Amino acid sequence: MHIIQGRVRDYTWGARDVIPEFFGLPAADTPVAELWLGAHAGAPARCGVGPHAVALAAEDVRVDDAGPAASAGGAGEAGADVACPADVVSPADVVSPAGPAADLRDYIARDPEGVLGRDVMRRHQGELPFLLKLIAPAQPLSLQVHPSMEQAARGFVRESERGIALDAPNRSYKDALHKPELVYAFTRFEALVGFRSPRRIIGVLEGLGTELTDRLADLIRCEPNAGGVREAFSCLLSASRPSADAVAEVVEACRTRPAEDSPSPRADAIVGRLASFFPGDPGVVASLLLNPVTLNPGEAMFTPAGTVHAYLSGFGLEIMANSDNVLRAGLTSKYVDVPELLDVMETVAAPPIRIAPERISPVQSTYYAPVDDFELSIVNLRDATRRVKLRGAGPRILLCVAGAAEIRTASGQYCLMNTGQAAFVRADDGILQARGAGRLVLAEVP
């Protein structure tokens, strides 16, 4: 078991303050969009950081004058730090060192069977199969879709054979893996996920009275099924995509449509919001075809391969397959591979997949996703005088999001985790026991 530090991703859509302030740091002068906790080749977590390190390294967040860091704070409703009893041992004495490994990927490669366990090592080719992230969008992300395992494998080989560099801007497949994902909300979290039913889309488009929305509605009326929805969506992405003026006309129609006459005032408002960030982008109009969804703190949503989606705002935690494959559809200045996107995306109407947790013990609730790569548990500790067993095995990542907890492994190691600290647990560390007063996130392999 080792304390680890994540790696910052400074995508332009990220908030400058949300993630740093969670760790007791001032707002950054550059975006802090995500904090990756995993062993992805692009940004593996750091090992050997010492027992008192929090998961976000202060030197990774550029600020004008950071000053002394405050104690890490809680996320959303998670609460404040609560100290464990005085007899909890210091982690400096009991957490084993990571040795010369500089990062988690290197650490796993040195002993994949011991770290991952034989079953996970064989099923996932010696890789940690999940990636845990904190995510804080200050503005909408691109409309995007992730491939299935088969699509990713074909796409990766195809782009590699064409000689497209892994870091090239026109590279869609950075690896040969699928990327299903689950997001857990710390605060109110808004997104667009999956296509509405054809009848519902027509209802939203009707009454706007623009040439573009009338054309989209007619395409779906002629084929009121997934095929018609695909035609309408393709119309917004094709070479003859609508002009910026046509998009602006739809935006104005949504802005001026009276709420009492609109079948979806929320959709109309989202159009205006997206247009403020991406004026003239046809993806703004495409949002009318999609389901808006809001997660309240503590709620979770699963996004399978092929589902068009975009996160709009909020602060949450994502767990996903260990991939960085993204096919973009709009709301972006980055590369959009239209033929590949249309081949990968699923246009059958489907509501967002909200996942309710299953309470598997008095302290632990688990969100089960229908994949073999990951599952996520929330652990609420309320009794600092009694140790409780945490369900789960194999390689695990723990993140303390409120309070404090003492973690004990079957092999006899201890770790005292305070808010904002993360730990990686080896498969051969065995069953975990915990005590304290706080909240933990536990990521593992099914």
Sign of CA dihedral 51, 56, 61, 65: negative
Q: What is the DSSP string of 109-147?
A: HHSHHHHH-HHHHHHTTTS--EEEEEE-BSSPPPEEE--
Please tell me which residue in 16, 230, 328, 439 is annotated as part of the active site: 328
CA-to-CA separations, 376 to 368, 405, 421, in angstroms, rounded = 7, 18, 17
Residue 11: Cβ within 10 Å count: 14
Residue 238 pLDDT = 84
With beta carbons less than 8 A apart as the criterion, state whether 427 and 115 touch: yes
* Each residue's pLDDT expressed in tens, for the chain with a length of 446 residues: 999 999 999 999 999 999 999 999 999 999 999 999 999 998 999 998 989 999 999 999 876 554 444 444 554 443 333 334 333 333 333 454 555 558 999 999 999 999 999 999 999 999 999 999 999 999 999 999 999 999 999 999 999 999 999 989 999 999 999 999 999 999 999 999 999 999 999 999 999 999 999 999 999 999 999 999 999 999 999 878 899 999 999 999 999 999 999 999 999 999 999 999 999 999 999 999 999 999 999 999 999 999 999 999 999 999 999 998 999 988 988 888 888 999 999 999 988 999 999 999 999 999 999 999 999 999 999 999 999 999 999 999 999 999 999 999 988 888 999 999 999 999 999 999 999 999 999 999 99
Q: Over the range 23-47, which residues count as b (16 or more CB within 10 Å of their CB) and which as e?
A: bbbbebeebbbbbbbbbbeebbbbb
pLDDT digits (tens, 9 = 90+) for 49-61: 989 999 999 999 8
Helices 198-205 and 211-222 cross at an angle (nearest 10°) of 160
Q: Are 56 and 400 in contact (CB under 8 A)?
A: no
- Ligand-binding site membership of 40 (annotated): no
Question: Residue 344, class by beta-carbon neighbours within 10 Å (0-12 exposed, 13-18 middle, 19+ buried)?
Answer: buried
Task: Give residue 239's pLDDT.
Answer: 76
For 149-218, strand residue ranges (E) read: 181-185, 189-195
Q: What are phi and psi of 123, to 5 degrees?
A: -70, -30
Residue 292, CA distances (Å) to 261, 286, 395, 402 in order: 19, 12, 35, 30
User: CA-CA distances (angstroms) from residue 94 to 98, 269, 416, 424?
Assistant: 12, 54, 10, 14
Determine the pLDDT at residue 64.
Answer: 59
Beta strands in 140-271 (DSSP E): 143-145, 181-185, 189-195
Q: Is 328 a catalytic residue?
A: yes
Sequence-separated (6 or more) residues with CB below 8 Å from residue 305? 145, 146, 147, 148, 149, 151, 178, 179, 180, 344
CA atoms within 13 A on the CB side of 173: 25
Greatest alpha-carbon pair distance for the chain in Å reads 72
pLDDT at 311: 97
Please report the pLDDT score of residue 76 as a whole number: 43
Kindly give, in sequence order, each residue whose CB lies less than 8 Å from that of residue 174, ignoring residues fewer than 6 positions away.
42, 156, 166, 323, 324, 325
Backbone angles phi and psi of 181, in degrees to 5: -150, 155
Q: What is the pLDDT of residues 313-343, one digit of tens each?
A: 999 999 999 998 999 988 988 888 888 999 9
Q: Name the one residue in this structure whose structure tokens are 């957490």.
A: 95
Domains of the chain: 192-294+330-355 (1.10.441.10), 358-444 (2.60.120.10)
Find the helix or strand (DSSP H, E) in which 343 lies: helix 338-344
On whether 52 is known to bind a ligand per the annotation, the reply is: no
How confident is the model at residue 67, as a pLDDT? 45
Q: So what's the pLDDT on residue 65?
A: 54
146 is annotated as contributing to ligand binding: yes
* Confidence (pLDDT) at 79: 36
Q: Which residues of 345-370 are buried (b: 16+ CB within 10 A; e: fewer)?
A: bbbebbebbebebeeeeebbbbbbbe
Binding residue per annotation — 181?
yes
